[in-house]
Structure formats: structure tokens, C-alpha cells
Structure 1
Amino acid sequence: MLNGHMIDPRLRTLRVLQQEGTVTAAADVLHLTPSTVSQQLRGLAKDLGVQLLEAQGRRVRLTPAAYTVLDHADALCSQWERAQADLAEHRRGGFGQVRFAAVSSALAALVTPAAARLREEHPRLTVRMAEEESEKVFSLLLARRTDIAVVIPTADGPPPDDPRFDQRPLLDEPQDLLVAPDHPLAGGGAVRLADAAREPWIGSPGRPDQHQVMITACAAAGFTPRIAHHANDWFAVSAMVAEGFGIAIVPRLAPLPPGDQVVRVPLRGEPVPSRRIITCVRWGSDRQPPIAHGLEALRRAAAERRARGRPR
């Protein structure tokens, strides 16, 4: 596949710079040096005859001309994705590659089963998987370093109508309260989040999407959680909870240690805390057979998770 090489690669560099905000960050995503990124953008500006960047202290700012170029670049890239999909219809044999990037819980519970299904049903299709936080995957899509992102929408992410991306709901995932086995809330069935208002909490600031779910859910229940400890790994969170250092909100898909070290307690009330998991691809790329197969496998994996209901 040509993978976008028919379009000036410097336009991709400009798109990633817009998403990342700094030359250094864009260079990191593109696996280039900052000087190479700057050189590409200077060359593009010279060829177009317009100024694309303005110095702003030690940073750079996109000019109005740059935003005009980006509007056209978005349209060109979306049209090229559709062109590749149309051309793929003329090829036979089921060859190709699809790359997934996902937050850890979705990688374990949705992407891996989907990849296993693809391996069985499309053995000539190469599948790649990577764990990534939600805020990074959009730049990876633009840089063509991944094809399908499975993420949690955040306030800093692109809006649903962003012309660069096709974002679709995959699964609404309830949140559970995680407590120690001897905790008063452990044995009485579903509880209201407000019942835990006076408890110490385990926060996960290194997982901005999940941390924001906790803060928002507690606020909706009428309180601000007293965060006593921080941990990002679910096994670390579970260890703290098991020893009575606090409680936590965990997504239904989060992998926890086996055995009875901790107890998931379902939450009730209106609304029940949940987080939405979405798929995101480059606009127009969903018709390309490898990506279409990947999205279909994800939808089937999500349907199976819904059918299983609540874990222990």
C-alpha cells in the first residue's frame, strides 16, 4: 500500500504539530529530530509562499495561513483514505496489516480477543497491538503509526465532529467500587457512591481519563473525594485497597488480581458512574478491508462483554 505517500509528508508533519503543540513533541511522535521537523515546515512554507509559523517565546504558533493549509490537508487526507479503500476492493488475497492502540483495560478485554478472532478468520492479516494512553493516540493516528484507537474520550481530546477522525461508541462501561473483603460496604450488594463519601480514596492521576471519571462521579454524588494515595497500575490499586489504605472506583474491564483480596461492589443510583469507550480511525479509512475487519472484530468483542454482565 502507498500509505499516504501520494500526499506531501510535510502536511502530515504540520497536522501532528497542530495536535501536539510543540516542535519537540511532534518530532517525538514522528520519530524525527526537532531540526528535521523545523526544516520540513520551513520548506513547506517556502513552497507554498506563505508563513506557517510565528515565534512565541521559545514556542511556535500556527499562523492563519497554516490553519487554511490544515483545512485542505484534512480534506486531502480523508479523500486519500477513501481512495485506498476503493483501490483495496480491487485486490485479492486478504493481505494487509491493522494496528491497534488502546488503553490498558480495553487492550486486555476487547482488543486482544478481537485480535485473536482476526488471527483465526483472516490468517493472512497481520495484527499489531500497543498500549497507549488516550491523549496520545490521536497524534499516532495522524502520524500513521496506528490504524484503530480504542480510547476513553477526554476534555482535551478532539470533538466528535473533528474532520480528521471518525469516532464511534464501542462500549459503555460501568464503574465498580473496589473495597477490602472486610469493608462494611463489601457484603450488602449494590451501594450508592455517596455511601463512600467519608472514605479515603486511591486516585490515579497518571490515568487522566479514569481519574476524571472518579472526580466527576463523586461530584455528581455530592462530594469531593479525599484522595489519600495515588497509583496507576490496577494491581497496585488493588494492593492498597486490600490492605485498607483506601477504596477506589475501577472500570468493569479492569483486570484485578485473582482470588478474594478485594471485592467489586456494583454501584446504583442515577446516574450510575460509567465511562464510554470509543473507536477512532482516520476519517475515510474505515472502508479499507484490514481496518474494517478490525472494527468489526472489536464490535463483536464488545457485544460478548456486554452479554457476560458483571464479573465477580
Structure 2
Amino acid sequence: MIDHRLHVLRTLAEYGTVTATAAALHLTPSAVSQQLRLLARDLEVELLAPQGRRVQLTPAARIVLRHADALRLQWEAARAELAAEGAELRGTLRLCGVSSALATLAAPAVASLRETHPLAEIQITEEESADCYRLLLADEADIALVLPGPEAPPVTDSRFEQASLTTDRQDLLVAATHPLARHKGIELAEAADQPWIVKKHNNDTYPLVTAACAAAGFTPRIGHEVKEWYAVSALVAEGLGVCLVPRIVPLPEHAVMRIPLLGKSIPTRQLLTAVRRGSSGHPLISAGLAALRDKASAISG
């Protein structure tokens, strides 16, 4: 096992403060400080230097992190090789992701995996994209279904292997009685004067909405902050606003209409798979990724 204190140090490098690191790891600030002090003592080096309210990693800490990344890569390769020794796939596969991807892609993929690999136990956890990456690094998930965004690491981040799974177009969702519901397709700018329904915080959809509206030449006026798709659809059905809805999202039987968007900048979102670098060779993780690709291809086709 890789020393958990190295993960704490890596998280501190990402967040910059002990308080933010503790929140991300669900620890107390004192616990984070103690683990880092013990790691520094065992390595006989200084790892942190105060810088105002933040802390700065020392050159020694950067060296430690570089070797820690290499150790994790080797550890993942070792686990994959050991798992390949078995005649049948067994063990636990943990998936996490955004709700729409779990409903449309992960659920049927897991059903297929249970048929082909009955000895494997598969678990699903719903989280926003940024939290999914943290679950991967904490070894609390194996495959993440995520959306690129301002809080997500770039695809070049060496800690992960990320791959495009599918491109999902977005439609405008309006009440069935809304004047725009008469159209077979509209440009997004035609909804510029509408109240919008989207939660601003802890919601991967919000940056997608604001980026799409900015490309259409306007800033959305947020009328209601709601996140869960059933509730969003219910509010739209009552004429309380409009929203963007991914095409793969199954909607309840509310009095709503999906209006396809036209024009030069049709909003889409890119769904990615992410795993810890080096872990994709694990037979169970490889099977999970293949099942997800199969379901994504079926939807796209």
C-alpha cells in the first residue's frame, strides 16, 4: 500500500491550505497537520513553508511528490498484473459519476457486467465531477464518468488516464404551453429573455449553461436554483423557467417539450471516463471501461 500521507501531501499541493485539504479529505485540520509533520519527520526534511495564510511546498516536497506519483503508477501496474492471474474476473469494481451518465450509461453497463462476470461485485456512487476525481485519488473509486469543467483537472494531468466516451447534445426544455414549444428548433439566443432554472453551486451543469449562453450572446437570468432533473422538469412544466437538458437524460412524464437547438454554436457536453493512471490494465477496470464504451456507442448510433 502507498503511504496515505503522500496522498495528503498531494491534496495540499492542489488546494494550498490545510483547511481546504482537510475538507477535501474529510479530516480535521489538526489531523492533516499531524500527518504532514510525521511524514516530514520520517523523511527528515522540511515539506512546508508558511506563506501568509497558505503554505508553500518546499523543493523537498516536490521531489517527494514526483516519486510518489511514480510509486502509485507502479502500484497500479502491480495490482493489474496480480488480478490478471485469476481465471475469472472477481473482486469489487467501483464506479462514480454524474447522475445523467450513471442513469443512461453506467446502469446498463453494470447490468451487462453482472451477466458476463457474476463473481464481480460492482458499486455505483453519484458525485459531481470534481468529487469523482478526488474519489479516484483516494482509491475510493476505480472508474469515473465525468464532465470537463473549471474545477476538474485537465486531460493532461499525469495522475489520470482520461478518454472521451460520448458527445451529448443539449436541448432547450420548455413547458408544453410555452410559445417556444411550437417551434421544431430554435437558436439559443431566442431564450435570452427567459428565467433559467439551474443550481449555481456544486453543479456541473451550471458552467455548461453559462458557457452556452455566453456563446449565444447573453447572460442567463437565474430564476430558480434547482439541480435534480425530476425537480427541474417539474418547475419547467409549471412555466417557472427554461433550462438546458442533455439529450441522454430521461425525463419524467411532465408537460414539457425538448426543443432542438440550431445555429453555429449548438451546446454540447463531453462525457469522459477517468481512471488512475496505470489502472486501466486491471482486468475488471478494463471490462468496465469496455462495457461503458459499448453502451455509449449504442446510444450514439
TM-score norm. by structure 1 comes to 0.90
Please, which moves more after superposition, 33-42 or 292-301?
33-42
Matched, 1:86 2:81: yes
Return the alpha-carbon distance in structure 1 between the equivalents of residues 24 and 222 of structure 2: 33
One-letter amino acid of the structure 1 residue matched with residue 292 of structure 2: L
Q: 1:151 offset after TM fit, Å?
A: 0.7
> What secondary structure, in the 3-state scheme, does the structure 1 residue paired with 2:45 have?
coil
Give the direction of change, closer, same or farther, for the CA distance of 1:36–1:226 in structure 2 (3 Å limit).
closer
Q: 1:153 offset after TM fit, Å?
A: 0.8
- Contact 1:179–1:262 at 8 Å: present in 2 too? yes
Identity %: 53
Q: Which residue of 1 aligns with 2:180?
A: 185
Q: 2:92 aligns with which of 89, 97, 103?
A: 97
Give per-residue Cα distances to partners, 1:23-55, cap 9 Å, x unaligned. Answer: 345445545544333222112112222211233
One-letter amino acid of the structure 2 residue matched with residue 13 of structure 1: V
Q: 2:149 aligns with which of 143, 150, 154?
A: 154
Please, which moves more after superposition, 138-147 or 36-45?
36-45
What are the within-5 Å matches in structure 2 for residues 58-77 of structure 1?
A: 59-77=54-72
Q: Which residue of 1 aligns with 2:11?
A: 16
TM-score norm. by structure 2 comes to 0.93
Q: Which residue of 2 aligns with 1:40?
A: 35
Give per-residue Cα distances to partners, 1:251-280, cap 9 Å, x unaligned. Answer: 12233222x411111111222101111011
Return the alpha-carbon distance in structure 2 between the equivalents of residues 263 and 151 of structure 1: 26
Unaligned runs of 5+ in 2: none
Q: Which residue of 2 aligns with 1:304?
A: 298
Give the direction of change, closer, same or farther, for the CA distance of 1:114–1:271 in structure 2 (3 Å limit).
same
Q: 2:284 aligns with which of 269, 275, 290?
A: 290
Matched, 1:230 2:230: no
- Contact 1:206–1:232 at 8 Å: present in 2 too? no
Unaligned runs of 5+ in 1: 308-312
Return the alpha-carbon distance in structure 2 between the equivalents of residues 26 and 255 of structure 1: 36
Q: 1:204 offset after TM fit, Å?
A: 2.1
Q: 1:86 offset after TM fit, Å?
A: 2.1
- Contact 2:45–2:60 at 8 Å: present in 1 too? yes
Matched, 1:274 2:268: yes
Instruction: Please tell me the root mean square deviation across aligned C-alpha atoms, in Å.
Output: 1.8
Q: 1:190 offset after TM fit, Å?
A: 1.6
- Contact 2:198–2:243 at 8 Å: present in 1 too? yes
What are the within-5 Å matches in structure 2 for residues 122-201 of structure 1?
A: 122-201=117-196
One-letter amino acid of the structure 2 residue matched with residue 186 of structure 1: A
